Amino acid sequence: DAAEEDLDRIVAVKKLIGPTRRLFVDANQRWNVADCMNRLQKLAAFDLGWIEEPLHAEDIRGHADLRGFVALPIAVGESLYTRHQFADYLQANAVDIVQADVCRVGGISEWLKIANLSASFHRTMAPHYMSELSVALMCAIDNADILECVHGGSFSEMGVLQAELRLENGVAFPFET
C-alpha cells in the first residue's frame, strides 16, 4: 500500500542521511485527514523537519486539526496566492511554517506583507521557489527559517542568471550586488 511504501522510502532516506540531518516530507496535497493522521503517527519517530502540504490547500480546518494532533510542524503556502489566504491559515492556527512563493503571491511587496503577518503570529517563513530572490528576502525579515531549494526553481537553472546561488555547508548566501 502507498502509506507503507512512503514509510519504507523515509526509512531508507533517513538511514542514508543519518541522524544529524533533517528530512522534510512533501505530501503535495495528496492525503485526507484520516489518512494523514495515520501516516503522521508512523512518521513521528523520524524527527522530520516538517510535513508539507499534507492536505488540499483549501482544507484549513483539516490542517488545524493536524496541528493539534501531532507535534510535527505543518508547512503550507506554495498553493496559496493571497495575503488573505495566509491570514485565514494563521488565524485558524493551521500552519507552523509559511511557504509563500514570491512569484505566486504578487511579488516582493506582497511577500513581505505575508512575512510580517506570519511574524505577528510567531510563525516562520520558508520561501518556496526562486532561491536567489528568496534568500535575499529572507535577509530582510526576522522570522526566516529555511530556504527550500527546488530543483529547476532558480534563476540560474532557468538561464536567467549566469551566477549560481552560493551554498556552503548548508548555508545559502545572497548575491553581493
Residues identified as active-site: 128
CA distances from 19 to 16, 101, 117 (A): 9, 30, 34
Cα separation of 8 and 149, whole Å? 24
Closest CA to 120 of 103, 98, 136: 98
How does DSSP assign 82-117, residue by residue? SHHHHHHHHHTT--SEE---TTTTTSHHHHHHHHHH
Question: Can you read off the three cell numbers belonging to residue 153?
Answer: 526553481
Task: Determine contact, residues 53/79, Cβ cutoff 8 Å.
Answer: yes
